[in-house]
Structure 1
Amino acid sequence: MSDSSPPRPAHPTLAEYRAIAQPPEVRNRRSAEHWVADVYLRDISPYLSRPLVRLGLSANAVTGLMILSGWAAAGSLLIPGLVGVVLAVFFGQLQMLLDCADGEVARWRGTFSPAGTFLDKIGHYTAESLIPIALGVRAAGGFGDLDGHYGWTTLGALLAVLILLNKALNDFVHVSRTFSGLPRLADSAETAAPRPGLVARLRRIARFIPFHRLYHSVELTLLALVAAIVDIVAGSAWGGLAGTRTLLVVLLPLALLAVIGHFVTIMASSRLRA
């Protein structure tokens, strides 16, 4: 692709790098930042992405590392005990850090492409579906104890399907508008807001209990850690997996409610109107 951006300094200061890699218009987008990015990851991500630029890595290569980190978060949940969930939390945080870094590398290099967006989607969709599947296997007692516990793996798979559907709804909006010849939507709260009425009131209430935000890899791995601690505290109750199994049982109906609410909100907004 052609690059009309001005030449970048060979050895930028951190301030020079941040000015290009982390412009305000990116950080201020409605859906651009996860809360951990706002809280601390954007403060440290340049310390990772700037060396990656110097090493010659492309933005897509960094996205590839992000994908592997998400898969590692899911795979870690298959390791019994606290070790597995602690590793899952680490890789979940690393995935989000690399998700910040790949965009910074792309902005510094001035290299943006559909392939990069595609790979980013692959990373988030696969991680956020593999983690609940791994959580179901964990709730069943691991691969060595699946016989007679397939109900838990089924719950994990159903949770994965609901999470995928909820994530896909926003993409469905963009695809539908493209097929209808409509312009791309602005990424703003005003565009996403439903028209005044019952749905808008319910949406405002839901902000006080944001359970629909529990299904990102960061939240899922943190919840898995809390559940593993409960497993230890509860001892032999419910097969020694009381926390993990309770988490799975609670997350599934909440995910269904999140999907329904998301669908209704989209239909009540102006996003699908010409």
Structure 2
Amino acid sequence: MAGTDKSQALTPQPGPIIILCEPQLGENIGMVARAMANFGLWDLRLVNPREGWPSEKAVATAAKANHIIERVAVFDTIEEAVADLNLILSTTARSRDMFKPVIGPDEAVRQAQPQIADGRKVGILFGRERWGLNNAEVALSDFIVTLPVEPAFASLNIAQAVLVLAYEWRRLATADALPFEGDLGTPAKREEVIGLVGHIEEALDRAEFFSVPDKKPTFLNNLTSMFSRARFNDQEVRTLRGVIAALDRRHLRPNPSRPQKKKERPE
């Protein structure tokens, strides 16, 4: 599976608990597990899943996030699922008639982080596929979390919503560190760029490119400016010089499209 590195060890790290209230489809549970695995979340709780548990459909769509599927905890009621939590965040796309602060996903993880760092438990509630959380379930929470979606099309798939919160958590937990860095090579020295321009100039002179000599300095200055702005590495400069050299020597090679004259043998 692309992007999965089996040589990397999976080590549980403290994070928010994802709670799905009465999920209707096993496939959605599996996709939630996959989204959690992408960003290092481990604990998934289900409240009264309609198709029961365990679920073969969930396993099939979890994309080998077995370390989450195997740890799933199932509860009969939401009260049981949140009983041991210190902070509860409920997600919804609809305005609720309640006195609760409404925050975005970035603020939600900022509220969760110090609680989790102190060893307390934080849960994020997600509602049913068709109609989300009811008001009684939202009432259990400390904060309402909503996303900056298009108001006319605000409904997200559960896995999508979980992915957004999990992504924000990962950004905060890792201080935006990326898993790998790009190799930009060794930056070319300015003398290498100057040498490249000089190489091009010589090749263009041999090709009689500069039909108007007065324009040559401006052309070369523009070329130098362009290459300097590109910030080539030393390998890229060598590659370009190799291309120029090959083009410059092309007249020395036989053209396979032209018939070659046969050498006459002496009588």
TM-score normalised per structure 1: 0.23
Structure 1 or 2: larger strand share? 2
Larger RCO (CA under 8 A, 6+ residues apart)? 1
TM-score normalised per structure 2: 0.24
